[in-house]
Amino acid sequence: MAKFIIGQDHALTEVVKTMSRSKTGFSDPNRPLASFLLVGPSGVGKTELARVLARELYPKEDALVQIDMSEFKESYSASKLLGSPAGYIGYKERNKFTDEVRKKPYAVVLFDEFEKAHPDVQNLLLQILDQGAITDATGRKINFKNSVIILTSNLGQNLGQKIGFGGKAFENDTEMSKEFEATLKEHFRPELLNRLDKILYFNAINKSSLEKIIV
């Protein structure tokens, strides 16, 4: 994966370790295979990591389910994910998200720019992370126990830009976590953060990484 994601070796290492533990049976069978929150500036490889991981895990399949969370800012947005309840307009219409997950039980499910989602929508993700499943508006159970869940966020982007071109990149998550922790807690419930397998901080692109990308 390193040839596609430049300058984020620390994050890639943690993803590989987590997936290895999952494949050897050390993960909770009642939760998703793995779950990650990727935090950092725009354009540093967070979304690309989800795409690459989907190709690496399931090379013969279209195994990425991508949701733009900027479309779920309102309280009623949860119905976009679960469908409309019986008696409401759109009840009989198919739901793109739940249908995709049912068709692709072995997939990477990407919730892009997760910080933009309404808290009610974030609570749905808490249920997925905790129970490995949700129930849609028609009563169908949607299983995520064979899925890898990835949330991305641009929170703390200004912190990441402090180490921009020519700056010193963070060498590990510990170095960055203290600066980002308060920002994350302002936007996400502690219960949600605690249920994630890993919170990974992406470096801003520095001169060394830029040279590798250009080459």
Q: pLDDT band at residue 203, thresholds of 50, 70 and 90?
A: confident
SS3 per residue for the chain = CCCCCCCCHHHHHHHHHHHHHHHCCCCCCCCCCEEEEEECCCCCCHHHHHHHHHHHHCCCCCCEEEEEHHHCCCHHHHHHHHCCCCCCCCCCCCCHHHHHHHHCCCCEEEEECHHHCCHHHHHHHHHHHHHCEEECCCCCEEECCCCEEEEEECCCHHHHHCCCCCCCCCCCHHHHHHHHHHHHHHHCCHHHHHHCCEEEECCCCCHHHHHHHHC
CATH of 9-214, one of 1.10.10.10, 3.40.50.300, 3.30.9.10, 3.30.470.20: 3.40.50.300
Q: pLDDT band at residue 115, thresholds of 50, 70 and 90?
A: very high
- Cα separation, 148 vs 150, in Å, equals 7
Residue 183 one-letter amino acid: T
Please report the pLDDT score of residue 148 as a whole number.
97
Please report the pLDDT score of residue 200 as a whole number.
92
- Cα separation, 156 vs 78, in Å, equals 26
Please report the pLDDT score of residue 155 as a whole number.
86
Identify which of 39, 27, 77 has the alpha carbon closest to the alpha carbon of residue 182: 39
Q: pLDDT band at residue 163, thresholds of 50, 70 and 90?
A: very low
Mean pLDDT of 106-112: 96
Identify which of 203, 202, 181 has the alpha carbon closest to the alpha carbon of residue 193: 181
pLDDT at 150 over 90: yes
- Cα separation, 215 vs 211, in Å, equals 6
Sign of torsion over alpha carbons 124, 115, 146, 32: negative
- Cα separation, 131 vs 101, in Å, equals 15
DSSP-derived pairing of the beta strands 148-153 and 108-112: parallel
177 CB burial (10 A radius; 0-12, 13-18, 19+): middle
